[in-house]
Structure 1
Amino acid sequence: MRITQGCFSFLPDLTDEQITAQVDYCLSRNWAIGLEFTDDPHPRNTYWDMWGNPMFDLKDAKGVMIELADCRKANPDAYIRINAFDSVRGFETVTMSFIVNRPAIEPKIAMHRTEVDGRSIRYTHDVIR
């Protein structure tokens, strides 16, 4: 099962050239870029580890790609994502997020549906390693 989180997750993996184009798009809108990684892709895991500090005031995607290469080297079997952060007052939120690295073998996540009181339905997820 392929983990589908963030933009572009239903597409084939982006090449470095395509990643660079997306980072250029983000930088053209003055969004800050951050890298995060995790080995736990559970849908409820929203707290990924941050790689370095967010990159404010960048003008060129090359800086992001250098950091991405370092993160990939240090965490080859992790999920790595790029977050674009809009720091304009009133927004101040992640505007774009997409996965740029996946482990060679992705864990499987099984979803279980259980009917409970009345017409309520509960869903649980299990990671199968």
Structure 2
Amino acid sequence: MIPMKDYPSRLSDPNSRRLGTFSYLPPLDAAQLRRQVAYIVGRGWTPAIEHTDPAHATGHYRYMWKLPMFGETDVDRILGEIEACRAANPGHHLRLIGYDNIAQSQGTSMVVHRAPIRA
């Protein structure tokens, strides 16, 4: 059996905090992000983008970027909205959500941009 790896996370060190799905892995590159967006669209889920400043990233409230993209199936358009949100909020963390309208819950959510933490 493979031993469990410890991911030290401290409130005193904002750079050590984990922020949900995939946050224990290296950041997604452009191709990996495209595949995740295609997965959301392929499942028929509604994509949405949220953002928050790093100081409040561990809280439950995040700002929604525009409205959820109901019925959107164009991967490039969704990626364009992620880039627009990043450009408008350069110091914020961004999270992509896929809402499952059948289960009435989030099907997935992942950090797609992690802003640098200023000490």
TM interval, shorter chain, is: 0.7 to 0.9
After the TM superposition, list the runs of 4 or more consecutive aligned residues in structure 1 that deviate by more than 4 angstroms. none
Pair 1:84-2:90 in alignment: no
Structure 2 counterpart of 1:94, from 106, 113, 119: 106
Q: Counterparts of 1:10 and 1:38 in 2: how far apart (Å)?
A: 19
Structure 2 counterpart of 1:19, from 23, 33, 43: 33
Pair 1:62-2:76 in alignment: yes
Report the alpha carbon displacement of residue 60 of structure 1 after superposing the two structures with TM: 2.0
Identify the residue that residue 19 of structure 2 maps to in structure 1.
5
Is residue 6–residue 96 contact of structure 1 (8 Å, CA) maintained in 2?
Answer: no
Is residue 83–residue 96 contact of structure 1 (8 Å, CA) maintained in 2?
Answer: yes
What amino acid maps onto 1:41 in structure 2? A
Q: Counterparts of 1:104 and 1:51 in 2: how far apart (Å)?
A: 20
Identify the residue that residue 34 of structure 1 maps to in structure 2.
48
Secondary structure of residue in 1 paired with 2:79: helix
What amino acid maps onto 2:109 in structure 1? S
The structure whose residues are more often strand, as a share, is 1
What amino acid maps onto 2:107 in structure 1? T
Report the alpha carbon displacement of residue 77 of structure 1 after superposing the two structures with TM: 1.0
The structure whose residues are more often helix, as a share, is 2
Secondary structure of residue in 1 paired with 2:39: helix
Identify the residue that residue 86 of structure 2 maps to in structure 1.
72
Secondary structure of residue in 1 paired with 2:20: coil
- Report the number of matched residues: 103
Larger radius of gyration between Structure 1 and Structure 2: 1
Identify the residue that residue 46 of structure 1 maps to in structure 2.
60
Q: TM-score normalised to the size of structure 1?
A: 0.75
Q: Counterparts of 2:40 and 2:115 in 1: how far apart (Å)?
A: 25
| Unmatched runs of 5 consecutive residues or more in structure 2 | 1-14
Query: Aligned-residue CA RMSD in angstroms?
Result: 1.3
Report the alpha carbon displacement of residue 29 of structure 1 after superposing the two structures with TM: 0.5
